[in-house]
């Protein structure tokens, strides 16, 4: 009897899988229960392809819109700019629903299972928090110069430290650590109102590094993670590795918010006037809303902070780490950038964001850095709310899908010799810059884009204006600087760089 029941279930499952496959774009045939995981493992372990190469390989075989089964779950991958534009911009409203992938949703869920924050949430909660954060960032002066002053203040402090260590005008620095502090402090000052320095760097490090590691090691397999994994031997490690670092940030955020509450209660801190940081702004908004229906509760504050941390640190730090790898390897590009920077500032003042208009070559260089560093190998998934059309294919409601921006930005149809670092391609054809979309496009576009772009511009130009850059003579760059990970983040190994003060 049991055997017959098992057989019926199996046949039902095979029929369901077959039926489902006929409704989706082409892709490798899924194995029972395991989907295309065996193919992914084969390509990774035996063909030694990294995640980007695997997606490029699949695209060549099945076309620019293809289906990949992650276990029993089919996912549609969009590797074509035109289709992505159509889905995410022209019909963006229909396609902004986030697929609630458990390993990211679990730490962001309250006791009733409702997902908070802005990165993984949907519907009214997402709308309220996204609008609020965008407004706060705007009020803090993204694009108004206030944030620019903070970025430059952080830059000055970090490089004052470097200059103190210089001998005969030169110093070799742990570049990755310096960038981490510079970018980390900019976002920390926005969120918490204070910065980390050499003395309390350990506190920052102990929360940030495990979080970066956790996200960097995320692979396709994490999609299967469920809360009951934590009670299973061996698999609980898998769970802890990704969950504990996120919970640590939430605890850190909670501690900071509680300190602020206490200070307000004992009268040593006041919420009058303009908010000094994100916590102030959030508490003021809670007060303003009073008893009205709102999702702006305390847990919402902690999860918003987690999302700002996750979104606002490693992404920009990694891009800067990649930037200087490309620059170290392309002195001719450095020379051209420096010449342009010198013309814009007459060599007598720091570079400002307003100089962007007179530095087209630098802008092209940053676009090329963003294209080639493609720090997100894979993007977060969405879910269709109704039947939809992706290019030539119609997909049913509830289909999980995502654009593969890394593959799109390496498409030889749009970028000749895509693996080459060649900023000139955007000088020869400026409209190509629009096809570089590391922040995505559409309704769920990264709202940190203006901040990140300003950080990249100010950091790169002011370093190039002040210092000659060179590899550390004692420890030159390895040929392969990339950490070969099959995860979703394109990481670079930490490295040192020699800076020599220019006159
Ligand atoms: C070079 C730097 C950055 C890159 C490449 C980047 C990339 C992205 C991308 C591709 C997305 C969309 C994810 C998706 O829907 O699939 C995104 C969303 C997001 N980013 Fe960024 N980002 C960067 C910097 C920042 C900064 C500085 C912040 C914080 C101020 C930030 C916060 C966020 C948040 C919270 C989301 C989720 C938004 C939502 O779902 O509504 N990012 N980012």
The ligand 1 atom nearest the CA atom of 440? 10
* Residue-by-residue pLDDT tens, the chain, 503 positions: 778 888 887 778 777 777 777 789 999 999 888 889 899 989 988 998 988 999 999 999 999 999 999 888 899 999 999 999 999 999 999 999 999 888 889 899 998 989 999 999 999 999 999 999 999 999 887 766 778 898 999 999 999 999 999 999 999 999 988 998 899 999 999 999 888 877 777 777 788 888 887 877 777 667 767 777 777 887 788 788 888 889 999 999 999 999 999 999 999 999 988 899 999 999 999 999 886 778 899 999 999 999 999 899 989 999 999 999 999 999 999 999 999 999 999 989 999 999 999 999 999 999 999 999 999 888 899 999 999 999 999 999 999 999 999 999 999 999 999 999 999 999 999 999 999 999 999 999 999 999 999 999 999 999 999 999 999 989 888 888 888 766 788 989 989 999 999 97
| Residue from 481, 449, 483, 495 nearest 213 by CA | 483
CA of 222 to the centre of ligand 1 (A): 20
| Res 34: pLDDT | 86
| Residue from 357, 352, 319 nearest 446 by CA | 319
Residue nearest to atom 34 of ligand 1 (CA): 311
CA of 379 to the centre of ligand 1 (A): 10
Residue nearest to atom 3 of ligand 1 (CA): 315
CA of 438 to the centre of ligand 1 (A): 9
Ordered alpha helix ranges (H), 275-381: 278-289, 298-312, 314-329, 331-345, 360-373
Residue nearest to atom 30 of ligand 1 (CA): 448
Please tell me if the CB atom of residue 127 comes closer than 6 angstroms to any atom of ligand 1: no
Q: Counting Cβ atoms within 10 Å, is residue 346 exposed (0-12), middle (13-18) or buried (19+)?
A: exposed
Best residue among 99, 446, 450 to mutate for probing ligand 1, ranked by most atoms within 8 Å of CB? 446
| Res 143: pLDDT | 61
Provide the residue ranges of all domains of the chain, joining segments of one domain with +.
2-95, 123-374+409-501
| Res 207: pLDDT | 81
Best residue among 249, 309, 448 to mutate for probing ligand 1, ranked by most atoms within 8 Å of CB? 448
Q: Is 303 helix (H, G, I), strand (E, B) or coil?
A: helix
| Res 432: pLDDT | 97
| Res 71: pLDDT | 84
| Res 217: pLDDT | 74
Best residue among 88, 92, 128, 311 to mutate for probing ligand 1, ranked by most atoms within 8 Å of CB? 311
Please tell me if the CB atom of residue 452 comes closer than 6 angstroms to any atom of ligand 1: yes
Cα distances (Å, whole numbers) of residue 442 to 20, 32, 218, 454: 28, 36, 25, 21
**Binding-site annotation, residues for heme:** 446
Please tell me if the CB atom of residue 451 comes closer than 6 angstroms to any atom of ligand 1: yes
Sole residue written with tokens 């909660």 = 125
Please tell me if the CB atom of residue 235 comes closer than 6 angstroms to any atom of ligand 1: no
Token pair listed for 213: 């590691």
Token pair listed for 429: 């054809």
| Res 233: pLDDT | 81
Please tell me if the CB atom of residue 107 comes closer than 6 angstroms to any atom of ligand 1: no
Task: Domain 123-374+409-501: give its CATH code.
Answer: 1.10.630.10
């Amino acid at each position: 009897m049991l055997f017959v029941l098992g057989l019926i279930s199996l046949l039902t499952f095979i029929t369901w899988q077959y039926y489902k496959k006929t409704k989706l774009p082409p892709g490798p045939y899924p194995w029972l229960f395991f989907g295309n995981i065996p193919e992914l493992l084969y390509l990774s372990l035996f063909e030694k392809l990294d995640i980007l190469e695997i997606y490029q390989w699949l695209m060549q075989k099945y076309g620019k819109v293809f289906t990949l089964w992650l276990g029993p779950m089919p996912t549609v991958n969009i590797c074509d700019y035109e289709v992505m534009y159509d889905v995410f911009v022209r019909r963006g409203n229909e396609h902004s629903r986030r697929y609630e992938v458990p390993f990211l949703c679990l730490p962001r869920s309250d006791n009733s299972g409702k997902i908070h924050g802005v990165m993984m949430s949907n519907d009214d909660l997402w709308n309220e928090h996204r609008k609020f954060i965008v407004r706060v960032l705007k009020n803090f002066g993204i694009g108004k110069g206030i944030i620019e002053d903070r970025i430059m203040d952080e830059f000055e402090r970090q490089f004052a430290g470097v200059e103190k260590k210089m001998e005969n005008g030169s110093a070799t620095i742990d570049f990755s650590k310096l960038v981490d502090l510079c970018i980390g402090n900019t976002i920390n000052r926005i969120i918490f109102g204070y910065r980390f320095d050499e003395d309390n760097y350990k506190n920052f490090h102990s929360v940030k590094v495990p979080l970066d590691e956790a996200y960097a090691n995320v692979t396709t397999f994490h999609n299967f993670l469920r809360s009951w994994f934590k009670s299973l031997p061996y698999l609980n490690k898998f769970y802890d590795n990704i969950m504990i670092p996120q919970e640590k940030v939430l605890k850190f955020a909670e501690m900071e918010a509680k300190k602020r509450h206490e200070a307000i209660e004992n009268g040593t801190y006041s919420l009058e006037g303009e908010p000094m940081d994100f916590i102030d702004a959030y508490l003021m908004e809670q007060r303003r809303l009073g008893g009205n229906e709102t999702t702006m509760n305390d847990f919402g504050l902690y999860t918003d902070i987690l999302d700002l941390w996750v979104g606002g640190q490693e992404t920009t730090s990694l891009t800067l780490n990649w930037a200087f790898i490309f620059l170290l390897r392309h002195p001719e590009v450095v020379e051209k950038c420096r010449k342009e920077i010198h013309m814009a500032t007459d060599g007598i003042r720091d570079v400002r964001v307003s100089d962007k208009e007179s530095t087209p070559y630098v802008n092209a260089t940053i676009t090329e850095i963003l294209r080639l560093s493609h720090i997100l190998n894979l993007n977060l998934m969405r879910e269709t709310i109704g039947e939809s059309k992706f290019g030539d294919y119609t997909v049913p409601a509830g289909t999980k899908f995502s654009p593969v921006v890394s593959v799109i930005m390496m498409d030889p149809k749009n970028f000749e010799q895509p693996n080459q670092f060649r900023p000139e391609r955007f000088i020869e054809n400026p409209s190509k810059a629009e096809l570089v979309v590391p922040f995505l496009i559409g309704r769920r576009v990264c709202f940190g884009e203006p901040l990140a772009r300003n950080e990249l511009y100010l950091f790169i130009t002011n370093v190039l204006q002040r210092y000659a850059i060179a590899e550390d003579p004692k420890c030159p760059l390895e040929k392969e600087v990339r950490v070969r990970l099959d995860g979703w983040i394109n990481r670079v190994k930490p490295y040192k760089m020699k800076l020599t003060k220019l006159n």
